[in-house]
Structure 1
Amino acid sequence: MSYQKTLIFAHRGIPVRLPENSLAGFQYTIDHSADGIEFDVHLTKDRVPVVIHDERVDRTTDGNGFIKDYQFDELKKFELANGQAIPSLKGFLKLVENEPIRLNLEFKTDLFHYENIEAIVMEMVKKTNLKYPVIYSSFYLNSLRTCYQIDKDGQYCFLTPKYVHNAHHFMKVNHLAGLHLKHYQKLANTTERIWTVDDPLEEKKLLKKHVAGIFTNNFQKAAEILSE
């Protein structure tokens, strides 16, 4: 019986070493051959997609307030812990263009649904020369439904901390390619990726179950476990 290889996704880069969702962190994942990068996208007031996790800048920069209330030029003035600016999606895509690394783009639309974010982002991705098709994920199902209307051939994955009932039917009716779950669920013939796993024992268990992917804050450590 052949099993799929579990892919290790660098969750927001490598937060154990470098600021999360920073270009330095993403460059590190490329330089050290991570299987994939997981990153988050919001829209500024002037509709520029930026790579940051929270709806506010307070936790990860020296600024404060909501991303949606700032023009991109204003947002650029805030610094991450390493002095870098919040990356634009354009800058991120330039960094990963032609690199042999998979991308998991999370639409952060579960608190605010930024108007037209899906079309803006997917158009930028389409113009970038990437080695692998982008995996799009969100906690907000309507974002993924919108993506499907834009491109029926895309890979859309629903993020949830909850148990998914009638998973195969749920995926079929919502045109999902996979589920991104907080806890493993026994599902046959399903692309299942688990977040966010940093405990080596938990990683070992998931690797034995041959899940499609693991999101982790330390992809190098997880890769060591995988190679054991």
Structure 2
Amino acid sequence: MMKILAHRGSSGTHPENTMPAFEEAYRAGADGIELDVQMTKDGALVIVHDAKVDRTSNGTGWVKDFTLDEIKELDFGGWFSEEFSGLRIPTLEEVLDWISGTSLELNIELKNGAVRHAGLEDGVVRLVRQYRMEERVILSSFNHYSLVDVHRNYSDVETAILFMEGLYEPWHYARSIGANGLHCYLPVAVPEFLQGAQQNGMPVRPFTVNKAAHIRRFKDAGCAGIFTDFPERAVKIRDESSVG
């Protein structure tokens, strides 16, 4: 069955990459959660997508220039709606502490591109192992050098390449760097690609899949999962189509 992975949590209805967004995805019946990890000035692993805090908080500046205490003072909910005012940024450890008590899977995107966070891979894997989540975690990144580092140092951890281009037979490339999955931008998930990946035993999980027609198409194509901002809607559509 195609798995429903909540993109930055239930980010269509809650402020992205916050505990309420993750908790809502769990309540909605998602199979897993996708989130983004960066590093603060003092080496803390925090859950935030953009390299700067400007869009999703009441602060300004680069994540890398804040200490954990400083970034914890910012409001990461008020930008979305007044209902969520005062939300603090979660750390990866806080999320792992919560999710380890559920059956949810976890996709951790290593945000190690525009800003290079030295030691990010090591820190993430160390925490994943501390919470014994190795069997439920996939590490993904647009920075494939990051994924190679993970594979070389922690070959037991599953990785997946993120990409937005119409690559030809990307399963060959993914295997060449030790990656186990293809996380592609929705428009490049053309039929030839989906069929070829399936024939070659490489799981595909497109992003970001919010429309009913796309959800049904990827289910019919045998995708391993989809990333969606609306997990409740996606779960309902997937389960209805499986009996309809």
Q: What TM-score, normalized by structure 2, do the two folds share?
A: 0.88
Deviates more, 1:148-157 or 1:215-224: 148-157
The answer to whether the 8 A contact 1:102-1:131 is kept is no
The corresponding residue for 1:54 is: 50
Using the aligned pairs only, state the percent identity.
Answer: 31
Q: C-alpha displacement at 1:84, in angstroms? A: 1.0
2:15 paired with 1:19: yes
TM-superposed deviation, 1:223: 0.8
Answer whether contact 2:104 2:136 (CA < 8 A) is retained: no
Aligned to 1:218: 230
Cα offset for 1:170? Answer: 0.7
Corresponding letter in the other structure for 2:136: P
Report the aligned-residue RMSD: 1.3
Q: From 89, 96, 99, give the equivalent of 1:96.
A: 99
Distance 2:120 2:151 in 1: 13
Deviation at 1:57, TM superposition (A): 0.5
**Secondary structure of the residue that 2:50 maps to in structure 1?**
coil
Query: 5 Å matches for 1:1-228?
Result: 5-81=1-77, 82=84, 83-130=86-133, 132-182=135-185, 183-184=188-189, 185-186=193-194, 187=197, 188=199, 189-228=201-240
Q: Deviating runs (4+, > 6 A) in structure 1?
A: none
Give 1:131 deviation, angstroms.
8.2
Letter in 2 for 1:150: N
Residues 163-186 of structure 1, C-alpha deviations (whole Å, 9 max, x = no match): 222423212211010110113123
Q: May I ask how many residue pairs the two structures share in their alignment?
A: 224
Distance in structure 1 (CA, Å) of the matches to 2:163 and 2:171: 15
More helix, by proportion: 2
**Aligned amino acid, residue 207 of structure 2:** W
- Code of the residue aligned with 1:63 in structure 2: it is G
The one-character-per-residue Cα deviations of 1:6-56 (angstroms, maximum 9, x if unpaired) are 101000011222110001111122233210000000000001000011011
Listed one character per residue, the Cα deviations across residues 183-219 of structure 1 (whole Å, up to 9, x for unaligned) are 3123222111000011111111111101011000001
Q: Deviations over 1:127-148 (max 9, x none)?
A: 0043843100000000000111
User: Is the 2:171–2:182 contact (alpha carbons within 8 Å) kept by the matching residues of 1?
Assistant: no
TM-score (norm 1): 0.94
Q: CA deviation at 1:102?
A: 0.5
In structure 1, distance between residues paired with 2:117 and 2:150: 13
**Which amino acid is the alignment partner of residue 111 of structure 1?**
A
Letter in 2 for 1:101: L
- C-alpha contact 1:100 1:131 (8 A) present in aligned 2: no
The amino acid across from 2:71 in the alignment is L
CA distance in 1 between counterparts of 2:222 and 2:94 reads 34
CA distance in 2, matches of 1:172, 1:104: 19
| Runs of 5+ unmatched residues, structure 2 | 78-83
